[in-house]
Amino acid sequence: MIKIDNVPKEIKKISDVVWEIPTSYKSGMKVPARIYASEKLLREMDPGVFDQVTNVACLPGIQKHAYCMPDGHWGYGFPIGGVAAFDLEKGVISPGGIGFDINCGMRLMTTNLTFKDVEPKLKPLVNLLFEKVPTGVGAKGFLRMSENQFKDVMVHGADWCVDNGYGTKEDIKRIEEYGCIKGADPSKVSEKAIKRGIKQMGTLGSGNHYLEVQMVTAKNIFRPEIAKRFGITTPDQIVVMVHCGSRGFGHQIATDYLSVFNRVMVEMKLGVKDRELACAPFKSREGQDYYKAMACAANAAFMNRQVILHRIRESFSQIFKKEPEDMEMNMVYDVAHNIAKVETHKIDGEKMEVLVHRKGSTRSFGPGHPELTEQYRDVGQPVIIGGSMETGSHLLVGTETAMNETFGSTAHGSGRTMSRTKAKTMVRGDELQKSMEKKGIYVRAASMLGLAEEAGIAYKNISEVVQTLEKADISRMVVGFKPIGNIKG
Amino acid sequence: MKFEYLEDVATADIAFRARGKNLNELFENCALATTDTMVDTKTVKPKVTKTITLEHNDLEQLLFLFLSEITYFKDAELLFFSKFKVNIDGNKLKAKMYGEKFNNKVIFRNDVKAITMHMLKVEKKKENYYATVVLDI
């Protein structure tokens, strides 16, 4: 037993960066909960995290442990940073373990430009990106799709983009699941979801979503050999990072099925600790319907980030008067961090198919995994961790330890420590924009209030988060990036 | 007080508590709080009217369905509302919502992705009704 304020007294220290809450903590817990955090990060976690991760541990069919990653914080249903894997036969699927923004994720691309090339044109570049990739509410994408075309997107995901001139086959190889989750069925999606989403493909959204122009610095290249494999070769190299998801389309699918699952819970007399954790047996009709609809949203999100990549290439071309190929604007990777997927993992030494929920958690497959694209199979999967717009972001690589310990999962961001409501009482958007510009970060935002809520002070220290991942060895640090230009919703 | 935002709940999202003399007023104030999170409702003129009817035998689920309509109209028709007239009769809800299409005079704040069921609560205390809602941002 260990005594840390704020933290359940039953918590056991497994290592310097792994903590366990035993099943005796709460009635109904089927497995212990494990939290990956340094002692500092653990102390800073809000009490909601401990309550929520132990609620997850009560869900039927859960395997090994309910996990929370070092960026964990209070969410709804699962904590953000939550991971859980369920038996396919006896286990459940829960929209609250995926989030409303189905397949919210990160995408990273490189360029061969350096800071010296970009700095003189940074403002026109960011202004053009702000125009080409609409943000905020009321934003319409440049794509005009018929309902049938949108249904093709739901089934084919990022592949649709290659067929329609918005990307290359090389891009697709560097997307988790190759940009398309199998089993998507548009007949399981409501007309309302289609109406909400059809005009929004190619848009960023709001909240913590962003598109960022970033630079590498020499002191932030931690593993040069692996960095090179991911396309990071030069100090001062410019990269572009995108954080967004399935937009109103996914939000409506999650909303629709949350209602369905709550009805099922009442009918089946399944008790649940939080209605946001409503679930249904994965193999039930409702469970399968949701999975098929979720896959539609996930595929739309892969497509959304792919068309955004296309718009970024167009913008760079226009500003630097060069073809994207000449600027080597290549994909590093695209990861989903709000998702449930059927994956094969080892449990007690035996291979087993499980439904892994990651809510604010990134897949972190280690070297040799057959799912990985050939180019990366020997080094492991690129893991993209988005930080706050003031403090920078990181590229890491997946590990064997993650495969053995966390169902191949790791953190997804730096994690908030302060609520939005509190942040905006402390920060003014326009002042923040000016002070960031002085620090060399040019920001355009659709909402000044939204900008204030995303201030760096509202987030955990990202170095502490990635160093914890490194110590726990559930992913290894490769490169750190510093923001220089940012567009926000 | 029609509604207030809660500082220390749901770190990455926005939570509010609303009050009403009766259920109709409570639902109207919840709708206003949800919309005010997205835009400055003072900048939204009541030019268009939408009427919706919903049904649910659980009051909290009925509130969830009602507020979810607001996020639906925001994306599907780019409509925001600044005035709501709600009439709840048993398990049925009828609402008239007055607003306008998003334009450059409307001040945008935050996109509400969805209404969550986390901590969702409707309760009566003495003379008033209260609701707690967490919005996904």
Cα–Cα–Cα angle for A314, A320, A321, rounded to 5 degrees: 80
Q: Is B135 on the interface with A (CB under 8 A)?
A: no
The model's pLDDT over A217-265, given as tens digits with 9 standing for 90+, comes to 999 999 999 999 999 999 999 999 999 999 999 999 999 999 999 998 8
Assess if residue A241 is contained within a domain: yes
Predicted confidence at residue A1, as pLDDT, reads: 44
Complex ipTM value: 0.96
Q: Phi, psi at residue B103, to the nearest 5°?
A: -145, 180
Predicted confidence at residue A3, as pLDDT, reads: 55
Q: Is B9 on the interface with A (CB under 8 A)?
A: yes
- CATH number, domain with residue A190: 3.90.1860.10
Q: Is A421 on the interface with B (CB under 8 A)?
A: yes
CATH fold of B22-136 reads Archease, Possible Chaperone; Chain: A; domain 1 (3.55.10)
Q: What is the C-alpha to C-alpha distance for residues A49 and A82, in angstroms, rounded to an integer?
A: 9
- The reply to whether residue A274 touches residue B110, judged by beta carbons under 8 angstroms, is no
Which residues of chain B does A80 touch, with a Cβ-Cβ cutoff of 8 Å? 11-12
Domain range for A392: 105-417+459-488
Q: Are A370 and A380 in contact (CB under 8 A)?
A: no
Assess if residue A75 is contained within a domain: no
Chain A residue with CA closest to B104: the answer is: A138
Nearest-neighbour CA in chain A from B115: distance (Å): 8
Q: What total number of domains does chain A contain?
A: 1
Assess if residue A365 is contained within a domain: yes
Q: Is B18 on the interface with A (CB under 8 A)?
A: no
Tokens 């967490």 sit at which residue?
B134
What is the value of pTM for the model shown?
A: 0.96
Q: Are A308 and A133 in contact (CB under 8 A)?
A: yes
DSSP line for A77-98? SSPEEEEEEEETTT-EE-GGGT
Assess if residue A216 is contained within a domain: yes
Secondary structure (3-state) at A370: coil
Predicted confidence at residue A259, as pLDDT, reads: 94
Assess if residue A5 is contained within a domain: no
Q: Is A412 a catalytic residue?
A: yes
Assess if residue A435 is contained within a domain: no
Assess if residue A206 is contained within a domain: yes
Give B126's contacts (C-beta < 8 A, 6+ positions apart): none
- The H or E element spanning position A150 is helix A147-156
Query: Which residues of chain A register pLDDT less than 70?
Result: 1-5
Pick B14's closest partner by Cβ from A101, A195, A421.
A421
Catalytic residue among A337, A345, A394, A412: A412
Break chain B down into helix, strand, coil percent, rounded to 5.
25, 40, 30
Pick A258's closest partner by Cβ from B71, B75, B117.
B117
Assess if residue A126 is contained within a domain: yes
